[in-house]
Amino acid sequence: MFCSKCGAKVDEQWKFCKSCGAPVVVLIDQTPQKEFLPESNQELSKQAVEWYYLVGSDKLGPISDNEISEMIQRGDIKRNTLVWATGFTDWVPAGQSPLSSKFGNVVPFAPLNTISDKWVWALATIPLTISIIAEYFVLSNGLEWWVPYICTIIPDLFFIYKDIDEIKKVGQDVEAWLVLGLIVIPVYLYVRESKTNKNYAPLVVWCVLCLINAIAF
């Protein structure tokens, strides 16, 4: 080694440089050493996490961490979806599990108050209005009794599908609502308003128009 002041060759055992008298400084190698995990931890870190999740009462899985990440991004698994992995004592909501960080980059759904009511109002008024007009022509022109019903089916279907597309924007599961709408329109209107925190005005108007139709014909 050499003196840091004059550059003369010095011995590590010397306290002072014999050429200039400067203190001899011995540098210690501070290169960071590679940190080794215990063998058991190394093996654990290599293990792939397998996830299970619930859809209703059905247990689905196992799926990999990457697969469940993709499902979260697509919206197939939500924060309240129950999940389980090795080490869990019970099913937990995905948003309260180690998966919670994966929801950070997911664009949230629009708030409920942004739902447009134009299609539900169309559903509550237009088909019944058509039915009332059709009833008038049935009585006036001797048309078949089933004509008013056929006239309402097509607009009912159209407005229900358009309204469901609107509700999906806020992340609501509306698959069951479609069945309700095809069977009983007022039930659909009631469930729709209760699920979206809206008022029941379309349902009331639908009932009033039905009453008018029944009284008039």
pTM confidence score: 0.50
Q: How confident is the model over 47-62, as a mean pLDDT?
A: 86
> Using one digit for the tens of pLDDT, what is the confidence trace for 83-109?
999 888 899 989 888 888 888 765 666
Beta-carbon contacts of 130 under 8 Å, excluding residues fewer than 6 positions away, are: 148, 151, 152, 155
The pLDDT value given to residue 145 = 65
Count Cβ atoms below 10 Å from residue 19 Cβ, excluding itself.
13
- DSSP letter for 112, please: G
- DSSP letter for 92, please: E
| Residue keyed to tokens 């949230």 | 108
Q: Is 181:191 a contact under the CB 8 Å cutoff? A: no
Beta-carbon contacts of 57 under 8 Å, excluding residues fewer than 6 positions away, are: none
37 pLDDT tier (thresholds 50, 70, 90): very low
Beta-carbon contacts of 196 under 8 Å, excluding residues fewer than 6 positions away, are: 112, 115, 167, 170, 172
> Using one digit for the tens of pLDDT, what is the confidence trace for 57-67?
889 999 998 89
Residue 26 has phi, psi (to 5 degrees) of -95, 115
The pLDDT value given to residue 198 = 84
Where helices occur in the chain by DSSP H, the ranges are 39-46, 65-74, 118-141, 147-168, 175-183, 185-195, 201-216
Q: Is 180:121 a contact under the CB 8 Å cutoff? A: no
